[in-house]
Amino acid sequence: MKVLTAVAIVLGILVGSDLPALAETSVNFSGTWELDRSRSVLPSRGPWALISALTLVIDHQGDTLRIERRAEIMRVPQSFVTTIYTDGREASNQTPRGETVVSKCHWEGNRLVTVHKGPTESTSGTDTRYLAEEGKVLIVDSVLPPRSGGDNPERAHVVFVRK
C-alpha cells in the first residue's frame, strides 16, 4: 500500500508540474497592435520622441514570437523584425543600427518576461508582455538599466491596442 501511495504522489507531482506550462501556452500575442501614446509612459531614451507612429505585427506560433515593428520616424517609414523564443532559448537579433542584442524569455504566469543584453544601456533591459482588457490590449512594461552614473532604473509602460 505504501508503494502505491508513493507512486501516486510522484505521479501527482509530475503531472501537476506540467500544469503551469500548459496554462502558459494559452497566451497568444498574435495580431496587429497600434501604440496608444495617451495611455503609455514611454522611455526617455532611444528614438521614442521621434516616432510619430508605431505598429507591432506579431506572429506567435508555439514557442516562437516574430515581432515586426513598423515605425514612422521623422516621417520616414521603417520596419524591422525580431524573433524571440518563449521556451528559454536565447535569441540573437540585430537592431536597426546593426548592434546585436541577445534575448532570453521565461513565463511568469500569463506574462512573458524577456531579458535583453546589448552593447548599450538602450539595448539592454527587461520587458514584461501581457494581454489586458480581454485580449484587446497588449502592455509592455520595461525596466531599463540606470543611465551612466545613475542609481535608479528607468521604467516604461507601453500600451498597444489591437487593430
What DSSP letter does each residue of 79-96 carry, written as one string?
EEEEEEETTS-EEEEE-T
pLDDT digits (tens, 9 = 90+) for 58-77: 999 999 999 999 999 888 89
Report pLDDT for 14.
Answer: 38
136 conformational bin, left if phi > 0, alpha if psi -120 to 50, beta if neither? alpha
Mean pLDDT, residues 108-135 taken together: 93
**What residues are paired with 101 via a beta bridge?**
93
The model's pLDDT over 24-57, given as tens digits with 9 standing for 90+, comes to 458 999 999 999 999 999 988 777 778 889 999 9
Task: Please give the pLDDT value at position 25.
Answer: 53
Q: What does residue 152 show for φ and ψ, rounded to 5 degrees?
A: -105, 130
| Coil, helix or strand at residue 65 | strand
For the chain, give the percent of residues with pLDDT over 70.
Answer: 84
**Confidence label for 4 from pLDDT (cuts 50, 70 and 90):** very low
Tell me: domain 2-162, CATH 2.40.128.20, correct?
yes
